[in-house]
Amino acid sequence: MTEKSEPATTIGVEPKETGVGSNFVSNYPPYSFWRTENLADVHRALDGAPDPQSPLGLYVHIPFCRRRCKFCYYKVFTDKNAAEVQRYVDAVLAEAEIFARRAAFAGRSLRFVYFGGGTPSYISARHLESLFNGLKRILNWDDVQEVTFECEPGTLTLPKLETIRRVGVTRVSLGIENFDDAILEENGRAHLTKEIYRAEPWIRNLDFDQLNIDLIAGMVGETWETWKDSVRKTIEMDPDSVTIYQMELPFNTVYSQRLLDGSTVPIADWSTKRAWHDYAFSELADAGFETSSAYTMVKSGRDGRFVYRDSVWHGCDLLGIGVSSFGHVGGVHFQNLSQWEPYLQKVEAGELALERAFDTAPEERQTRETILLLKRGHLEVDYFKKKHGIDILEKFRSAFERLRERGMLDFDSRVVRLTREGLLRVDQLLPEFYAERYQNVRYT
């Protein structure tokens, strides 16, 4: 069964206005095809032998925030006290122990760890130490190359950052989004610019391997003047990388509900957001940054690796723990329960808190890797021949040719490469590669 209630990208038709619906592509097949009745496939995969060629990563969802942003579509809670946070930390560790006993994960070394949210930096230093120490006891961190930790500036203190550094975080991702206080307030962000400038020197002095800054092009209230100012101030901070997302409005956001109720939300159209994105990339390039993906630029000469992103896009196994968290092992994708009490009660009873799953076929895994790797801006033909035994130029020739005719990419016998226009609208192009049954359906 497919769901068609959410507007989706229609093949070959570009949306002009920012409507309600998902545009950012993070997985394939679409989440709307994942089902509770597929959970037996997860247990089969968990009991199977792991692929020795597939690295393993860990994603930990920390669902707490000071405020819920009006554009946020993640599972977050703004009403939990210290005791409830401790209960959640205990549950996450218990869940990790359950997974660690299954054959697919037992004894395997992690390549990367990613703490996302919500706001991981919301929780106290005491809770952070408990969480990190417990995870290191349960799982093998000996080969971890990167530990990423998302931070909201207003939640940071020097002692908390010292704890974040001490427990092993290597990459801080700072969710600045914008440098204009009026825009931050309007969009429901919890922090203001003074908190950005308070935290940034602490981060620098603690000498993390990488500092990434997140920006959002097209927040409500954005203008050319405010956007140029945010880009300038980002460059002045001289981070190791900058990640820029174009604002979208999935169904479960405050702004989306207003639009569905008939109210007006003054959000920029897609062409304006692309222009702002393009401007930022040009300014960053002039400041010595190089393109790493459709979203990220890294400072030349610095360690610009993003192990989490590159591993996930190459099809690694991912152990996702926490409420509503996503993971995948052996080609089977799964998501945890998304409600607070059901998730906690399941884990506290010694059971996995699984909600839905999808077992991908080999062809679907090939397509997933193709579209996610295309987000880098290029595909190597030989890579797919060696790993999957397929010629992607033949497999997706009609899609490549359609996009070349539109000026979105070019290709030869060795490489497929997006143009600048293609890079800026990559998520709207990717449905070109979907199997017919997955086109023009609700994504989530």
Let me know if 159 is exposed, middle or buried by CB neighbors in 10 A (0-12, 13-18, 19+): exposed
- Encode pLDDT of 65-106 as tens digits: 999 999 999 999 999 999 999 999 999 999 999 999 999 999
Between strands 415-418 and 378-380, the pairing is antiparallel
User: Residue 55: which residues within 8 A CB-CB, separation 6 or more?
Assistant: 111, 311, 316, 317
Confidence of residue 14 (pLDDT cuts 50, 70, 90): low
What is the reported pLDDT for 69? 94
Can 1-14+362-444 and 31-311 be said to share one CATH topology? Answer: no
401: how many CB neighbours lie within 10 A of its CB?
Answer: 13
Confidence at 17, pLDDT banded by 50, 70, 90: confident
pLDDT of 3 > 50? The answer is no
380-410 pLDDT tens trace: 999 999 999 999 999 999 999 999 999 999 9
Which pLDDT value is given to residue 442? 84
pLDDT tens across 239-280, in order? 999 999 999 999 889 999 998 998 988 999 999 999 999 999
Task: Please give the DSSP secondary-structure letter assigned to residue 286.
Answer: H
pLDDT value of position 20? 87
Q: Supply the pLDDT for residue 11.
A: 53
Predicted pLDDT at 9: 47
pLDDT confidence bin for 443, thresholds 50/70/90: confident
Query: How high does pLDDT run on average in the chain?
Result: 95
Is the predicted pLDDT of residue 12 greater than 70, yes or no?
Answer: no
Residue 7 has pLDDT above 70, yes or no: no
How much is the pLDDT for 1? Answer: 29
Specify the higher pLDDT residue, 24 or 10.
24
Taking residues 127-152, report their average pLDDT.
Answer: 98
Phi and psi at residue 246, to the nearest 5°: -90, 130
Looking at residue 93, its pLDDT comes to 98
CATH number of 31-311: 3.20.20.70
pTM to 2 decimals?
0.95
In the CATH scheme, what is the code of domain 1-14+362-444?
A: 1.10.10.920
Give me the percent of the chain exceeding a pLDDT of 70: 97
Q: What is the pLDDT of residue 55?
A: 97
**Which DSSP helix (H) or strand (E) runs through 114?**
strand 110-117
346 — pLDDT class (breaks 50, 70, 90): very high
The mean per-residue pLDDT over the stretch 410-436 comes to: 97
Q: Does the pLDDT at position 25 exceed 50?
A: yes
| DSSP per position, 23-59 | ----SSS-GGG-BGGGHHHHHHHHTSPPPTTS-EEEE
Task: For the chain, give the longest Cα–Cα distance.
Answer: 59
The mean pLDDT value for 31-38 works out to: 97
pLDDT tens figures, 208-248: 999 999 999 999 999 999 999 999 999 999 999 999 999 99
Question: Hey, where are the domains in the chain?
Answer: 1-14+362-444, 31-311
What pLDDT score does 15 carry? 77
Q: Sheet harboring 415-418: ordered strands across?
A: 378-380, 415-418, 409-411
Handedness of CA 29, 34, 38, 41 (dihedral sign): positive
Q: Check: CB of residue 58 under 8 Å from CB of residue 328.
A: no
**102-105 contacts, C-beta under 8 A, 24 or more apart:** 102/46, 102/47, 103/46, 103/47, 103/48, 103/49, 103/50, 104/45, 104/46, 104/47, 104/48, 104/49, 104/50, 104/317, 104/329, 104/330, 105/46, 105/50, 105/56, 105/139, 105/319, 105/329
Residue 5 has pLDDT above 50, yes or no: no
pLDDT band, residue 138 (cuts 50/70/90):
very high
Round to whole Å and give the CA distance between 299 and 233: 15
* Residue 2's pLDDT band (cuts 50, 70, 90): very low
Q: Is 90 exceeded by the pLDDT of residue 48?
A: yes
